[in-house]
Amino acid sequence: MSISGERYHTRDYVLEISLWIISLIILIPFYYLAVNTFKSPEHVTNAPLALPGADFSFSSYVEAWSRMSYPRVFLNNLIYTGVSVMLNLFVSSMAAYALVMKKTKFHRFIYLLFISSIMIPFQMLIIPLMKMFSDFHMMNTYQGVILVYVFTNIAFTTFLYYSFVKTIPHQLEEAARMDGATVMQTFWRIYFPLLVPVTVTAGIHLVINFWNDFLVQVLFISKPEMQNITRAVFSNVGMFSTDWSMLLPMFMLSMLPLLVFFFFMQKYIVKGLVAGSVKG
Amino acid sequence: MIGTKKTKIKSAIEYEILLLPALIGFAVVFMYPAVKSLIYSFTDYSVFNRTISFIGLQNFIELFHDDRMTAAIKNSILYAVLFTFLQSALAIPLAVALDSKIRTRNVLRTIFYMPHIFSALIIGFVWSFNLSTSAFGLINNTLRDIGLGFLAQNWLGDPHIAIYSCIFVAVWQGTGYAMMLYVANLQSVPREMYEAARIDGASAFQTFRYITLSFLAPAMTITTLTGMIAGLKVYEQIVALTNGGPGYATETLTTALMYRGFTENRYGYASALAVMMMLGIMVISFFQLRILSKREDKLL
């Protein structure tokens, strides 16, 4: 293994070519999915691996777009994800700050409670939440789903913020308070700007989680006009279970926004991955 | 000095105000339902019972005499263990290969990681298309094209194979994620270690076994722990691929919970399963963290 030289040896070429061959395991299914969305239904059945020929068209996309009322469910996804991520980060960063600064037994207890709750699976909450939601008429509402998203992930993001706030020298807080800043001012003007890296990390982690969510949606949302994209695809698979030429474009439409997000945020996603992996 | 009594009290209250939204939300949306579930698990609460009465451990006893539940417990454990093992077994060599100086390594890393960002439900649907026995089934077609037609199977319909097909899809989607964690971890290995091993005449295998693997212990702890937990909780992917069938062949803890809870509306009984699931996750996390962190200590 040469460490200093950047020279390419035969074995490097062999390794590189082998890795590209292995990567086909990932690439072919995506190719297969994409290529079949531009073909006629007969062509999908007869020659699935072939490129679209004369029958190349966007018509199945147009059809899928209107069948799943894409603009509507896309907007729903934006609302669910955007509001939940912002609320979660807002609430958990404040909580983490208070938990680091206050060192009483009560705050220590709350911190431990938060950490240990990470081990409690969401499945533990399903049945009582369903009952609560139907009692309080929260089924099929944005606020219901958003509340669940925000507070079933609060412990984890608080924990991330907590570890980060702890690394900031305590003198910073003392100095600010000495100058007459209130607790709120100290947090928002001095600490929060320093928390940007962890906010990005946690934010990306939550965006992907909430954007893809299915379980919460299937539990609390049944009205088509309230569904997110994943949930809408699920309902449509139920309806057109055999017509793949209709379903494949739906899969593509559901994956595209994330793909765009991924390419813009790639650097941060990979960075946040290690931090985000604390949770199951 | 700002130390007047009034401002001190005021700032103490301000800290509590910062904490309050998280605390209230967590108590109402998380702790309250979790405790409620625990209580339900000892009752016969269901849509048919207007009056809820305590029945002790009866739900838990019934769990082990219910074919759907025992199948779910068995499948979930098999799924979690096999998935976790395969994920790391494939991701570690891949990470080592992609930690070398090859030019396209960043593109390759991205390709391997990509499936992980998508919804497990959608990936499940895509694979139910690929694994289909119809004319367009990618896997069976490919096998026939390369002369291995005799290996073609009813991947999702055969009760002996279905669970392994589901595990395969999970490994396909999750290996890149584990690979990224290992790649990040490998960057902490001091390069001089390899140099020293080379000078001492260590073989490539010895270098891998005694240096690379030792330094990967932290990533291994995280990957196997998250893998086991995700494996035990799996739901969406199963819904997309087999919905628990054929028979109970791919029934998992969460599909069984959803069935008993919301198809049959037996809330108390389904809660008992949720409690079992939580206990399982806690026990596994506890032992895994202990064993693996002991290993980390020994190696580092």
pLDDT at B299: 54
pLDDT digits (tens, 9 = 90+) for A108-130: 999 999 888 888 999 999 999 99
pLDDT at A279: 38
pTM, two decimal places: 0.88
* DSSP 3-state of B264: coil
CB contact under 8 A, B31 and A117: yes
Residue of A nearest to B220 (CA): A277
pLDDT digits (tens, 9 = 90+) for A244-264: 778 888 999 999 999 999 888
CB contact under 8 A, A127 and B26: no
- The verdict on B104 touching A (C-beta cutoff 8 Å) is yes
CB contact under 8 A, A121 and B235: no
CA dihedral B249, B250, B253, B256 (to 10 degrees): -70
Average pLDDT for B86-108? 89
Question: What is the CATH superfamily name and number for domain A68-276?
Answer: MetI-like (1.10.3720.10)
Name the B residues in 244-273 with CB < 8 Å from any A CB. Answer: 253-254, 257, 261-262, 267, 270-271
The domain spans of chain A are 10-57, 68-276
Q: How far is CA B75 from the centre of its chain?
A: 14
Which tokens belong to B38? 């625990």
Name the A residues in 173-232 with CB < 8 Å from any B CB. Answer: 177-178, 180, 182-184, 187, 208, 211-215, 230
pLDDT digits (tens, 9 = 90+) for B237-257: 999 988 887 888 899 999 999
B268 to chain A nearest CA, in Å?
9
CB contact under 8 A, B119 and A214: yes
The domain spans of chain B are 66-299
- The verdict on A169 touching B (C-beta cutoff 8 Å) is no
Structure ipTM: 0.87
pLDDT at B89: 94
Band (A4; pLDDT cuts 50, 70, 90)? very low
Q: Tell me the chain B residues in contact with residue A16 when contact means C-beta distances shorter than 8 Å.
A: 102-104
Residue of B nearest to A233 (CA): B122
Q: Between A and B, how many CB-CB pairs are < 8 A?
A: 247
* DSSP 3-state of A195: coil
- The verdict on A112 touching B (C-beta cutoff 8 Å) is no
- The verdict on B77 touching A (C-beta cutoff 8 Å) is no
CB contact under 8 A, B22 and A123: no
A152 to chain B nearest CA, in Å?
6
CB contact under 8 A, B19 and A99: yes
Average pLDDT for A33-44? 79
Query: Alpha-carbon Rg of chain A, whole angstroms?
Result: 24
Name the residue with higher pLDDT: B196 or A1.
B196
pLDDT at B91: 94
* pLDDT at residue A2 greater than cutoff 60: no
CB contact under 8 A, B25 and A277: no
Residue A178: CB atoms within 10 Å: 11
pLDDT at B52: 80
CB contact under 8 A, B181 and A97: no
Whether the Cβ atoms of residue A97 and residue A191 lie closer than 8 Å to each other: yes
CA angle A36, A41, A45 (to 5 degrees): 75
CA gap A213, B46 in Å, rounded: 27
B39 to chain A nearest CA, in Å?
10
pLDDT digits (tens, 9 = 90+) for A135-169: 898 899 999 999 999 999 998 899 889 988 888 88
CB-based contacts of A15-20 (< 8 A; 24+ apart in sequence): A15/B97, A15/B100, A15/B102, A16/B102, A16/B103, A16/B104, A19/B97, A19/B98, A19/B102, A19/B108, A20/B104, A20/B108
- The verdict on A21 touching B (C-beta cutoff 8 Å) is no
pLDDT digits (tens, 9 = 90+) for A194-225: 888 889 888 988 998 999 999 999 999 988 88
CA gap A209, A269 in Å, rounded: 12
A105 to chain B nearest CA, in Å?
14
Tell me the CATH number for domain B66-299: 1.10.3720.10
CB contact under 8 A, B122 and A254: yes
pLDDT at A1: 43
* pLDDT at residue A241 greater than cutoff 70: no
Average pLDDT for B81-85? 95
* pLDDT at residue B5 greater than cutoff 80: no
- The verdict on B208 touching A (C-beta cutoff 8 Å) is no
Name the A residues in 64-83 with CB < 8 Å from any B CB. Answer: none
